[in-house]
Structure 1
Amino acid sequence: MAKNVTDGVGGSAVLKPWPKRPARLAHAVVESLTDSIVSGVIAPGSTLPVEPELCETFGVSRITIREAVKSLEAKGLVVARQGYGTTVTPSEEWNLLDPVVLAATVQHDDDLVVLDHLVGVRSVLEAQMTAQAAEAATDDDLREVERMLGRLDEETATPARFIETDVAFHDRIMQSSRNRLGRSIIRTVHSQARTTYLYTGTPDSQACEQANAEHRQVVERLLARDPEGAARAMAAHIEAAWHRRRPAHPGSAV
């Protein structure tokens, strides 16, 4: 990916070319520029280099650069205005539900501010969907959730396998809620969060056992068709699991 250097707020960015030409050109340009914007290398208020310079830097055509800039605009990262160039917008304007923007944001979230917010959003939405599942789930849905709980019991000694099944377990409950929008939001934000060590940590067998004890409380409330109890159990589990994983000193994590 290109590493970008800005000559100051309000100035133009100076970009370095890739060591190797990527295959998906426009997408690769977007990812590179997104990373530079989100990391602060190209600061809000700065302007991107002019089109010919971008073409030369990335070794691509004007059509590719125009496609990339349009994509950046759609993500809320820049505003292109005739006569003013393409200006980076404030972070408040960025679309954090866009996978490329969210991935870059999570990767550069050294203080865990965004991850803390993400866990909060996940806790609220997933608790709501668990309450909905307590009412909407079919008997087949609940049998499948129970089956996955049993599988998790068997995998507590193998954390890598447990983590993958844990994701599927949560997703199966969300699916049972019939809340397609909520499930889509959680799947988007959670999949990006899981790409960073700061979010996943290194759970051991004891942490897996604790997580599954909390899972069992959720399932018990689902089987009892208790929406409020199921929601409380799910929110408590998500928040407790994050508390166990969250680095005490995130800046020192590797």
Structure 2
Amino acid sequence: MRTQPVLFVSHGSPMLALGDSPYARSLAAFAAALPERPRAVLVVSAHWQTAGPRVASAARPGVLHDFGGFPRELYALDYPAPGDPALALRAAAVLGAEPDPLRPLDHGAWAVLRHLFPGAEVPVVQVSLPRASPADLVAMGRALRAFREEGVLILASGGLVHNLGRVAWSAPDGQAEAWALEAESWFLERIVDGRLEELLDHRDAWPQSHGAAPTTEHLDPVFVALGAAEGPARTVFDGWQLGSMSLRSLAWG
């Protein structure tokens, strides 16, 4: 079985789960180009934070519509992918985590997976995002890395720049505020150059850190991806929503 890549997706608004878009087509093209379909997906999302790691272990996890104020059609969406309880228990053992047989997939997971594998045929296991330092999140990714060799795709879902307090409601899709572009450029440059120490110290080293990530839950999944990854990163999609929400998505391997 082929080693699967690591994918970091900036998931943006839940509205991206609906319909066709350049974003959706880019994710679909990424999945279609894989030499071999993954046997399962391990996903870490910004929308399941816990004190310590947990792993969803249900055979049929179902979905959460964990948002409010959106059109009715968004709440009708489902993603009936199977779970993989055996993989979940192995991942929990590797991470020293608690299995959670009741946790459904949140929208940071299923809204992205709808575009990657629209048939919902690939088993999905969600791993929670611990409230931990960037260095500890990198270590978590490294602990999961070996699953890639078993045909498991590791998906981290968040956002390199995600500031709901500075959205520009009139900004056309694809356009960003100058401060947001500058912020993303700083972080992306260090990912590409492998300057991990600066990324780990982003609160002090990144001039736009607090503007790009007022709270870190959307940024944190990229550290899990960096730990699980090997080799250079490549961009899968480059775009923006509402001027302050990056849709930059990256793959390794």
Does the alignment reach a TM-score above 0.5?
A: no
Higher helix share: 1
Greater RCO (CA < 8 Å, at least 6 residues apart)? 2
TM-score (norm 2): 0.31
TM-score (norm 1): 0.31
Higher strand share: 2
In terms of Rg, which structure is larger? 1
